[in-house]
Every structure is written in C-alpha cells, then in structure tokens.
A and B are shown apart, each in its own frame.
Chain A
C-alpha cells in the first residue's frame, strides 16, 4: 500500500522548469485570489485568461511525471523537514482540482451578477484561492506538519466561503461547521502528538518504516480517523453537511462537495495505510458505516423536498461507496489483483464523483436561479423552458447512478469485481442498493420537472456559459468512463 502513495525514494531529481511549475501550481491560485479581491472580475473572460498559467503548470507537472516518474522535494527550515512528492495519484488529483477550481471560478462572475449577493462577494475570490492552493498542497505533501497546515488553511477558508451569503441560517450552519471542524482538527493534532511522542518524526516515508502495530498506533489511528471523518462528513458525522450546502452559494458548494471533503478522505486513507497496514477490524467498521451511509443518504435524498438537500444528501451516500472499499484497500489477506482493482476503482470513483457532483450542484444552482424556487415542486415545467440545465443534471446523475459508459460505471465495475473475487457479498449488496436508491431519487426529481400542469413562472435568463461550464464538467465525468485508461495509467505509473 505504501508504494502506491509514492512514499519511496525517487530516481531522478526534478528539473528547473518542474520547480517553477510546482511553484505556480501551489502559489498562483492564492495570488490570483488576492488579485480578484482587489479588482473583482465582472466577466468570465479575464478569469479564463488568469487561470491559463495554473492549468499550464498542471500539464507541465503531468509531463514531468511522464518523463521521470516519481519526483520529490525536501527542504529543511529551522530544524523542520518539509517534503513533497509528485506521483501519478497526486498528478491526477491535482489536475482534477485545477479543472474543477477553474470551472467554479469561471462560473462565479455570472452567478454573482445574477443573484443578490451583498457586499461580501469580493471576498469569495481570495478564499477560493486559499482553498485551491491548500488542496494542491494536500495532494503533494508527505509530512504531517505540512499536511496539518494545509488542512487547517483549507478548513478555515472553506468555512469562510460557506458563510459569505450572510443570511442567518447560513451563519448558524457555518458556525456549527466551524466549531466541529476546529474540534476535528484538534483530535487529529492529538493523534499526531502521539505519533511524534512515540516515534519522534513526522515524515511519512520515515514513519512507514518505523511504525509497528501496537496500542499507540491504534490510538493514533483512532484519533486521526475520528478527526478526519468529522471533516470528511463520513456517515455518522455527516449531520453538518446538508444545512451548510442548503444556504451556500453555488460555486462554493461545487468546490466543497467536489473537492474539500475528498481531501480529508485522501489523508485518512494515506495515514491509515501507514498506521494500520493489514488490520482486520478498523476498515471493516468503516465499511459497515459506509453501508449505512449508502442507505441513509439515499433515503434522505429520496424523501426530501428541497433540491439542494437532495444533492447534498447524495454526497453522503456516494461517500459510502468509497468507505465500503476500505477493507479491500487496508484489510489483510487480499490478493494483489483485487487490491489493485479496488485501488483503481476507489480513485476513479472519487474523481468521477468530484466532477459529477460539481456539475450537479451547478445545474441545481442554475435551476434554482432561473425558477427562483428551492423545492422540487417548483421545478414543474422546467423540462420545456430549461432543457440544458436538466440535461446537465441528467448526465451528472448517470455518473452518480453508475450507468454505462460513465466513470461511475467503470469505477463500480472494478470495485464489484474486486468484491466478488474476495467474496464480500454484503459489499456487493451495498453497491447495488446504492444504485437503486440513486435511481429512485434522481427519477423523482425528473418526475417533477416533466410536470406540465404547473402554472407558468417567469424565468430569469442565465448568463452565457453558466450552463456550458456545468455541461463541460458533467461530460468530463461521463468521458472518464470511456477514456478510463488515462487515469488508470497514471495510477499504475511510478511503481518501483
């Protein structure tokens, strides 16, 4: 498991251009965000121009990885060792982050112009920049101090973004999220304290060599797991998620549900694969909770009346798929083939869900903005007037349901294959139940939208491109199933 996260020595040193690409990828989102606060862009065109160097840096890091395999950086500052690594997985997640981040940034000017957002709108830009920079750092960092700094930066900026709408329910939900996230990070910090006290180091590569199973590793894993599960909204700790999304702005929801909660999950899997290699019970517990998450999230989404609650509850259920795969990734006595299949399926599901969920939130935001209604019943008649927004919603739901040939299908196929090889029938049942429930709530939403008997509303026209951006994200999620060899090759690459 450890080598899959790129925690081994690299063969080649990075080139000078790669250093620059790394710097741009980490710092530019932040700088552009500050620039956006000083001169808030009114159109999508300057945003597109400004995001070009960020995307270029991602592509350069991709080609650098293609040429020389795993790359790593290390600095020593005042007795502290900070280290980064670039392997196939981090390239894939970095590119995902940049694509979704740029899409959210392109979507923002139109959204801010059309909805009454108040005086705080210009602060969205720097907070978005901090979140994107911190996310990029999380995918790359390999020591616990850098990970802690990045996690905190991301968490605080995310809380700030979610509360910008300034309405009382948003503030209450945001305050609750702030307190829970802060307590979650203290729990995480206590876990790190145990690791530092017992093994005396913070770099993951060194820790992977010295950590041996025992009470300290179990306690540390429990504390870190609890803290990160709270931040990732894993099943029993998910209650803060829905109210927060209910009141947040659309691009903020897209970034948060697509990327921010995934970062905590990524850290959880990475740290547990070091602390708890080949344990039986801990991944099983996560998987059983995942089973409950699939059912509970699906039921919540099925019974709700609000469109945003539907999309947010579906996130809880979709995270359940990832949790169900934990025993295959961390459990003992798993043959190499099912483990490789589960590993690829896990990350393909995560990336596909990030794109699909971002697209879905944008489509839902477009529908809400155009109709002025937050409920499912308010969607009546939209099939004729807003076909494009509904199409985007549909394509995104194909990925979430896992119908062929979307990335959701390919990912679930791999996970199913791994589960059948290892004969985990209850996990198979969980995956199939989840698909049925997803279909149930998606078709319930479409039934309302095809209702033609409703009285006519006045529809607010959308800004040009708002639907197109969402459509692009949904199509990427769809196409990742057909072109799955690209992400899968990235994840194969860099093995020693």
Chain B
C-alpha cells in the first residue's frame, strides 16, 4: 500500500522535474509553453496527492486556466491579427557568464537544500520518502539558474513561474498543509498570475513598439551602433 503511494509520488516528481526542464531550456518557445501546461497539470495532481484539494482547485483555476493563456497571449497566438509571433529565442552568451550563473545556481541549490535539511531533520536518513520535496529543491534551483542565465524577457517570465511553483512545493513540504501554508500558497498563486498577466501585456506592447529584438536585451537600452 505504502509502496504504491510512493510510486505515484515518484512518478509525479519525475513528471514535474522533466516538464520543468523542457519548459526552461527548450529553444522552441511554443513547445516550452505547452510543457508549462503539462507542468501546471502535474502540479494540480501533486496538490491532490499531498492532501490539499483547495490548493489543487486554486492551481487548476489560477495556474492552468489563467496563467497559461497569458503565455500564449504573449507569444501572439490568441489574437488572430497579431504580427510576427515569437517562435524561437537566440542564445549567444559568453562562456564566462554561463559558468558564473551555473555556480550561482549551485550555491543556491546547496543553500536551500541545507536549510530544508535543518527544518526536516529526518530527511537526511530517508531522502527517498520525500520525492516531491526533492523535486521542489531541484526545480527551484534550476529555475533560478534559468532566470539568471536567460536575457530573453519571455524566458525570464517562464522561469519566474517555475521558481514560484518550486517554492510552493517546498513550502508545503516543510510546513505541511496547515491553513497558514495554504493561505500563503494561494496568495502566491494569485500574485504569480497577476505578475504573468502584467508581464504578458508588457511583452506584447514592447513587441508592438520595438519589434522582437527588444525582448532579448534585458532592459538595456539599444546600442548606439545599430
């Protein structure tokens, strides 16, 4: 009985981690968005599995039904007359920057892992019993790395959403499904939706004003040579 439950959790954790990786690093933006939907659906199942039906409902409403369309809107797939929908992003960063960001993400990973280890002391002896928690640490670390690494604004928005989901899994992992934890996560989901909506509106407006290249520059002004 217990073994079967574990299998479901392990499967969910693998599903979450896998879809998060694809979503963060796939160059094809529409596919990345589709995997975000997969990720959000697995989050719904994960909340159900963790015994928090209210959070599952909130995730279904806010994550799957409201936040995901924001991304497709930002890519220009919901408005029929939109010009030049985004397809792919370029990635041409110097190696020094990549190495620096990877080191940063590793430090973050170790720090979060250590903090969780102090809160849940028995995790050291049986890490396999908390597959979702492990997935949460992994997702949070990878998403922060992706956030630091990418300059493309759309990718950063996706990375922020996955970072949020990772943090919510960690929160429910360390604090259980108490009323306070559920309230914090619900507020967090609401904020993530509002932030994504604002971000998607901004990205559309920027593309309208400046063209697709504006998104890749991370808020830096246009070079004077171009």
Stretch at the interface among B36-44, B78-86, B214-222: B214-222
Judging by beta carbons under 8 Å apart, are B214 and A189 in contact? no
Is the pair B191, A152 in contact by a Cβ cutoff of 8 Å?
yes
When C-beta atoms are compared, the residue in chain A nearest to B164 turns out to be A186
Question: B166-200 interface mask toward A, CB cutoff 8 Å, 1 = contact, 0 = none?
Answer: 01001100111011110110011001101100110
A160 touches B157 (CB 8 A): no
**B65-98 with Cβ < 8 A to chain A:** none
- Contact yes or no, B174 A189, CB < 8 A: no
Partner of A196, one of B120, B180, B188: B180
Q: How far is the CB of B18 from chain A (nearest CB, A)?
A: 22
**In whole angstroms, how far apart are the Cα atoms of A143 and B22 in the complex?**
38
Q: Is the CB of A192 within 8 A of B184?
A: yes
Contacts of A152 in B (CB 8 A): 187, 191
Chain A, residue nearest B220 (CB) = A172
B1 at the interface (CB under 8 A from A): no
Task: List, in ascending order, chain A residues with CB within 8 A of B202's CB.
Answer: 163, 171, 174-175, 178
On chain B, the residues within 8 Å of A59 by CB distance are: none
B contact residues, range: 35 or more
How far is the CB of B153 from the nearest CB of chain A, in Å? 6
Contact yes or no, B221 A169, CB < 8 A: yes
B-side contacts of A171, CB under 8 Å: 202, 205-206, 209
Minimum C-beta distance from A308 to chain B (A) = 15
Q: Is the CB of B175 within 8 A of A178?
A: no
Contact flag A198-B119 (CB < 8 Å), given A186-B167, A190-B167: yes
Residues of chain A with a CB closer than 8 A to B120's CB = 197
Bound-complex Cα distance A219 to B114 (A): 9
Least CB distance from B180 to A in Å reads: 5
- Which residue of chain B is the closest to A216 with respect to CB atoms? B118
In angstroms, Cα B209 to Cα A212, docked, is 53
In the complex, number of A-B residue pairs with CB atoms less than 8 Å apart: 131
- B110-123 vs A: 1/0 string, CB under 8 Å? 01101100111000
Residues on A with C-beta less than 8 A from B220 are 172
A172 and chain B: residue at smallest CB distance? B219
Q: Are A78 and B219 in contact (CB under 8 A)?
A: no
A179 within 8 A of B: yes
Q: Counting CB contacts under 8 A, is B33 at the interface?
A: no
User: When the two chains form the complex, which single residue of B167, B184, B194, B217 contacts A148, counting CB atoms closer than 8 Å?
Assistant: B184
B210 to A168, Cβ gap below 8 A?
Answer: yes
**B105 near A: Cβ within 8 Å?**
no
Q: Are B218 and A182 in contact (CB under 8 A)?
A: no
Does A156 contact B210, Cβ atoms closer than 8 Å? no
B47 within 8 A of A: no
* Residues of A with C-beta under 8 A to B114: 215, 219
**Which one of A156, A196, A197, A222 lies within 8 Å of B195 (CB-CB)?**
A156
B203 cross-chain contacts in A, Cβ below 8 A: 175
Q: Mark A145-161, 1 if CB is under 8 A from B, else 0.
A: 10011001000100110
Say yes or no: B119 contacts A194, CB within 8 Å.
yes
User: A149 vs B171: C-alpha distance in the bound complex, in angstroms?
Assistant: 16
A178 touches B198 (CB 8 A): yes
A336 within 8 A of B: no
B35 within 8 A of A: no
Assuming the contacts A80-B180, A189-B188, asked whether A194 and B195 have C-beta atoms less than 8 A apart, the reply is no
Contacting pair A145 B205 (CB below 8 A) = no
> Chain B residues with Cβ under 8 A from A148's Cβ?
184, 187
Asked whether A243 is an interface residue with its Cβ less than 8 Å from the other chain, the reply is yes
* Docked-complex contact B219 and A173, CB < 8 angstroms: yes
Q: Is the CB of A183 within 8 A of B171?
A: no
**Residue A119 interfacial (CB < 8 Å):** no
Q: What CA separation (Å) do A185 and B162 show in the bound complex? A: 14
| Cβ of A46 under 8 Å from chain B | no
| Contact residues, A214-255 vs B (CB, 8 A) | 214-216, 219-220, 222-223, 243
Asked if B21 is at the interface of the complex by the 8 Å CB criterion, the answer is no
* Smallest beta-carbon distance A463→chain B, Å: 29
How far is it, in angstroms, between the C-alpha of A202 and the C-alpha of B182 when the chains are bound? 13
A422: shortest Cβ distance to chain B, in Å? 32
Q: Is A40 in contact with chain B by the CB < 8 A criterion?
A: no
Residue among A156, A159, A176, A200 making CB contact with B219, cutoff 8 Å: A176
- CA of A202 to CA of B171, assembled, Å: 13
Taken together as a complex, chains A and B put the C-alpha atoms of A193 and B188 apart, in Å, by 12
| Most chain B CB atoms below 10 A, which of A174, A182, A185, A190 | A182
CB of A79 within 8 Å of the partner chain? yes
Which of these, B111, B183, B217, B218, contacts A145 with CB under 8 Å? B183
Contact status A183-B163, CB under 8 Å: yes
B109: CB under 8 A from chain A?
no
A-B residue pairs in contact (CB < 8 Å), sample of 8: A79-B178, A148-B187, A178-B195, A186-B167, A193-B184, A196-B178, A215-B118, A222-B111
**Which B residues are closer than 8 A to A by beta carbons?**
111-112, 114-115, 118-120, 140, 144, 147, 153, 156-157, 160, 163-164, 167, 170-171, 174-176, 178-181, 183-184, 187-188, 191-192, 194-195, 198-199, 202-203, 205-206, 209-210, 214, 217-221
Knowing that A172-B219, A178-B195, A178-B199 touch, tell me 18 more A-B residue pairs with CB under 8 angstroms: A79-B178, A80-B180, A145-B187, A148-B187, A156-B191, A156-B198, A166-B205, A167-B209, A171-B209, A175-B199, A178-B202, A179-B147, A185-B191, A193-B171, A193-B174, A196-B180, A216-B115, A243-B219
8 closest residue pairs by CB, A with B: A197-B174, A79-B179, A176-B219, A219-B115, A193-B171, A196-B175, A197-B175, A172-B219
